[in-house]
Amino acid sequence: MKKEQILKTSIEILAERGYANTTTRMISEKAGIAVGSIYTHFKSKEAILDEIFLSEYEKRATYLKSLKKIQGRQIDKFDRFLDFHFMELDINRDLMMVLARESGNPELQDLDGVQKFVHQLPDFFKTILDEAIEIGEIRPLNTTLTGKIIFSTIRGTVFDSVIRTKDLDLDDIKKELQAFIKNAIQI
């Protein structure tokens, strides 16, 4: 229970202050626990953030793996993923802020969770694209590069909407991304 409390509180503070301006002392004070309790569960502030990203990666990876089993058009799997991803972001707007801001933080690129979130999710997109090309559903394209472009477009759009413009109409953002992806890869 304390571990979940630490993660929840960390997300709140990270969303408000950013990684560089957050300390374990701030987390412990807001959570109402001793700083030592944090170190019982996590080696460092970095480890907390790594756990957040790893957990979010696992949710999305599990969902993308489940999409492989679903019959239907491959291109519709992007819509389903975006429905899932934006539902998850809408559930916890603080988490959305942390993922958007810190996934591009150069100081954090070596963390396992950030690495998986940023580099392995596009690999799932590549797999969907490969299958779509194989069955003639989309035009031939470089699936590795296109998977990265799709991921970067999603991440960049969320980042810009959440952090820069504060435009939080997630449903509009999702619909525009869905249309953009379909138009970009269609035959």
pTM score above 0.85: yes
Buried b (16+ CB within 10 A) or exposed e, 116-146: bbbeebbbbbbbbbeebbeeebbeeeebeeb
Domains and CATH numbers, the chain: 49-185 (1.10.357.10)
**Looking at the predicted structure, is the pLDDT value of residue 108 above 90?**
yes
CA distance 126 to 157: 20
Over range 119-134, report the average pLDDT. Answer: 95
Q: What is the pLDDT of residue 169?
A: 83
pLDDT in tens, 35-58: 999 999 999 999 999 999 999 999
**Looking at the predicted structure, is the pLDDT value of residue 134 above 80?**
yes
Higher-pLDDT residue of 89, 165:
89
**Looking at the predicted structure, is the pLDDT value of residue 177 above 70?**
yes
Over range 3-29, report the average pLDDT. Answer: 96
Q: Are 182 and 153 in contact (CB under 8 A)?
A: no
Higher-pLDDT residue of 31, 164:
31
- Six token digits for residue 181: 């992806």
Q: 85 to each of 50, 68, 99, 164, how far by Cα in Å?
A: 19, 16, 12, 20
User: What Rg do the C-alpha atoms of the chain give, in angstroms?
Assistant: 18
Percent of the chain with pLDDT over 90: 82
